[in-house]
Amino acid sequence: MGATISGEVMLKTPIVVVNLKTYKESTGENALKLSMLIEEVARKYNANVAVCTQHADIFRVASAVEIPVLAQHIDPVSPGKNTGWVTPDSVKSAGAVGTLINHAEHKIPLEQIKKTIEVARQLGLATIACAADVEESRDIAALGPDMIAVEPPELIGSRISVSKAKPEVVTGSVKVIKDVNPKVEVLCGAGISTGDDIAKAIELGTRGVLLASRIVLAKDQRAAVEDIVKGI
């Protein structure tokens, strides 16, 4: 078992990170119920999992579960006159132990990624930065996030796993990331739908996956979570 030692709670690997996004099925009380279900299944299989919730749900979820809770985004700003921005201090106070950065649905410039990683590190928040391809993976690795999740945007939300459809993107990203910064852990996402997809991703050199709709939108969420975590 490996681990990345950022944040006040370690994100142990191999890991399944479930991004709840902003679906109705994972908002408010639904976010709480799903997170509790994910935690229950993770304990059953002794698997490492984490959830990324909407900012309004961080406190609700983090107060009820012991698995790591992450924000879906933060802005590199300090407390003060920043109406409408998401301060790292606020998500930490709400119970988050880390954050996603630069998700395909919330892209930010490289300089902003750098500043966000720096301010998160100062507060002890773990960072999972998303990258679309090998080139972006290389650029972000130089900034020193704790993890990089490689997600070709065209496969996000599909049932076509990046680990099977574009294994070269995964292996290529793993190589350049480790060449630039061996301390950065690599995840992959986009189209991850089954435990087999995760097993394949780990064969390709990753330490886990970032996924969303396969679990959030499943008719049987428990069965979906069990299938996924068994792959890890």
Domain count, the chain: 1
Distance CA 232, CA 230 (A): 5
Q: Is the dihedral of CA 87, 91, 93, 96 positive or negative?
A: negative
The pLDDT of residue 4 is 44
Q: Which of 103, 118, 135, 154 is catalytic?
A: 103
Q: Is the pLDDT of residue 6 over 70?
A: no
Q: What is the pLDDT of residues 95-147, one digit of tens each?
A: 999 999 999 999 999 999 999 999 999 999 999 999 998 999 999 999 999 99
For residue 118, CA distances in Å to 35, 105, 114, 122, 125 come to 28, 22, 6, 6, 10
Secondary-structure breakdown of the chain: helix, strand, coil percentages, each rounded to the nearest 5? 45, 20, 40
Determine the structural domain holding residue 45 and report its residue range.
Answer: 2-230
Please state whether the peptide bond connecting residue 14 to the residue before it is cis, i.e. omega within 30 degrees of 0: yes
The pLDDT of residue 27 is 98
The answer, as to whether pTM is greater than 0.85, is yes
Q: What is the pLDDT of residues 12-31, one digit of tens each?
A: 999 999 999 999 999 999 99
The pLDDT of residue 168 is 81
Say which CATH number the domain at 112 has. Answer: 3.20.20.70
Q: What is the pLDDT of residues 64-78, one digit of tens each?
A: 999 999 999 999 999
The label of the residue with tokens 């279900």 reads 37
Give catalytic status of residue 185 as yes or no. Answer: no
Give catalytic status of residue 154 as yes or no. Answer: no
Q: What is the pLDDT of residues 161-212, one digit of tens each?
A: 656 656 787 888 899 999 999 999 999 876 677 778 888 888 888 999 999 9
The pLDDT of residue 2 is 46
H-helix or E-strand containing 41? helix 29-45
Q: Is the pLDDT of residue 52 over 70?
A: yes
Q: Is the pLDDT of residue 94 over 80?
A: yes
Q: Which of 151, 154, 168, 185 is catalytic?
A: 151
